[in-house]
Amino acid sequence: MFKGFREFVLRGNVVDMAVGIVIGAAFGGIVTAFVKDLLTPVIAALVGKPDFSAIVFEVNGSKFLVGDFLNALISFLLIAAAVYYFVVVPVNALMARVNRGETPAPDKKKCPECLSDIPIDAHKCAFCASAVA
């Protein structure tokens, strides 16, 4: 019983997923701190106090906290922008630099009869059943 559990836990994909979740949580803390401690004060310096939680309206005794929604929306946009410009763009540039000059090997070819994409190792077209040299 424990042998199967041990094999499950020690499989590569479970351990990789666990490491990814832990690293993702830690990175999420870094991004949140970056936005809260650096980007939000910059916005406050440019446009004033960046807190919209006081924006509220009431209908039949129900409060609509529009300001809290705006705070969450702005926070999300700042976090998304920070992740994009400080993580995605540099990683894409790094990967482009690493892969410079490499062209991926083709994995498909065209059928000479119907011009469908078929696997490179195929001897017969799956679409028109014609023989492919």
CB-CB neighbours of 125 under 10 Å: 19
- pLDDT of amino acid 59: 92
Give CATH 1.10.1200.120 domain extents, the chain.
2-102
> Greatest CA separation found in the chain?
77
pLDDT tens digits, 9-60:
677 677 778 878 988 888 888 888 887 788 778 877 887 776 777 888 899 9
Give the pLDDT band (50/70/90) at residue 130: confident
Query: The whole model's pTM is what?
Result: 0.54
* CATH architecture of the domain with residue range 2-102: Orthogonal Bundle (1.10)
Please state the rounded mean pLDDT for residues 94-103.
83
Residue 103 φ then ψ, to 5°:
-115, 130
Q: Rounded to an integer, what distance in angstroms lies between the CA atom of residue 45 and that of residue 37?
A: 13
- pLDDT of amino acid 45: 81
- pLDDT of amino acid 62: 92
Three-state DSSP class for residue 124: strand
Strand pairing class (62-64; 117-119): unpaired
Give the mean pLDDT of the chain: 83
Give the pLDDT band (50/70/90) at residue 77: confident
